[in-house]
Amino acid sequence: MATAAATYDEPAKGERFFSTLAIIMALTVVLGFSVQFLAGRSTFASPLRVHAHAVLFMGWVAIFVTQSWLATRGPIALHRTLGWLALFWIAAMMAAAMVVIVAMTRNATVPFFFQPQHFLFADPLTLICFIALTAFAVSKRRETDWHARLHICAMTLLTGPAFGRLLPMPLLIPYAFEAAGLATTVFLIAGMIRDWRVSKAIHPAWWFGFAGLAVNLVGAQLLAHSAIGNAVYEAVVAGYPGEHVAGLEFPPPPDSTLRTGRGPAT
């Protein structure tokens, strides 16, 4: 165990791996949303709330890669300062995401491969798990082996929407959300394989990543199918077009391209 711990803290190999993995994760997000745009499923004509959401979340991807680079090459003081400022960025991300999630549910523009009521809980729970893992990483900032891996675990959760734009989601109904979530584990598994190859031991931080994903996937289903889920959904959509959409049924496919935040294109 002492040998494994020493290997975890070894900067020469570990930091190169994590910075490379951070770039791969960022490219996955960019690819997923680029495909969405090129396929005509998103548009710059979307409402302001969608643009704010996009800027904040893509901004986080930039922060994540920058922080990984700074942790490897320094200056470490800038890494720490940006880390504290990033916490305020996360708060803005949560607020922007909730505005978009509620608007899509109310306007009945939730993608047809999601149950609207499940969508209303699944996306916020993803962010809550991301925040919990990020907070855990911050609390372990003096233990670099934990700190680096927990940040990867947190970012893994945010790559779900990117995989959701790369996978054939309509063909994965009724498990489209779960399929996108499970696809993200490729990053956790890569980290575990790296640890095993280097030290013949798997760092326990990776299991927290799997735990966060499990809480997200299972918890969202439990909430959506509960009495609380029914009450929250009814309160959110009351007086809006979503009021006429069954919360736990999959909406029919649109007659034309479904554009993010706007409904079918005309």
Query: What's the DSSP call for residue 258?
Result: E
Cis status of the peptide bond prior to 241, with omega within 30 of 0: no
What confidence category does residue 233 fall into, taking pLDDT thresholds of 50, 70 and 90? very high
Evaluate whether residue 2 is within a structural domain: no
- Distance of alpha carbon 21 from alpha carbon 17, whole angstroms: 6
Evaluate whether residue 4 is within a structural domain: no
Confidence at residue 266, expressed as pLDDT on a 0 to 100 scale:
33
Q: pLDDT at residue 137 above 50?
A: yes
Evaluate whether residue 188 is within a structural domain: yes
Evaluate whether residue 68 is within a structural domain: yes
Confidence at residue 75, expressed as pLDDT on a 0 to 100 scale:
86
Confidence at residue 36, expressed as pLDDT on a 0 to 100 scale:
77
What residues are paired with 263 via a beta bridge?
Answer: 259
Evaluate whether residue 251 is within a structural domain: no
**Mean pLDDT confidence for 26-52:** 83
Q: What is the pLDDT of the chain when averaged over all its residues? A: 89
Tell me the pLDDT tens digit for each residue of 147-184: 999 999 999 999 999 999 999 999 999 999 999 999 99
Pairing, β 258-259 against β 263-264:
antiparallel
- Distance of alpha carbon 148 from alpha carbon 39, whole angstroms: 35
Is there a contact between 108 and 250 (Cβ–Cβ < 8 Å)? no
Torsional sign, CA 97, 98, 101, 106: negative
Confidence at residue 105, expressed as pLDDT on a 0 to 100 scale:
97
Is there a contact between 21 and 187 (Cβ–Cβ < 8 Å)? yes
Confidence at residue 197, expressed as pLDDT on a 0 to 100 scale:
93
User: What is the number of structural domains in the chain?
Assistant: 1
What residues are paired with 159 via a beta bridge?
Answer: none
Range of the domain at 137: 9-36+46-240
Evaluate whether residue 88 is within a structural domain: yes
- Distance of alpha carbon 122 from alpha carbon 103, whole angstroms: 15
What confidence category does residue 10 fall into, taking pLDDT thresholds of 50, 70 and 90? very low
Query: What's the DSSP call for residue 1?
Result: -
Evaluate whether residue 41 is within a structural domain: no
Tell me the pLDDT tens digit for each residue of 188-215: 999 999 999 999 999 999 999 999 999 9
Evaluate whether residue 264 is within a structural domain: no
CA 105 from centroid of its chain's CA atoms: 19
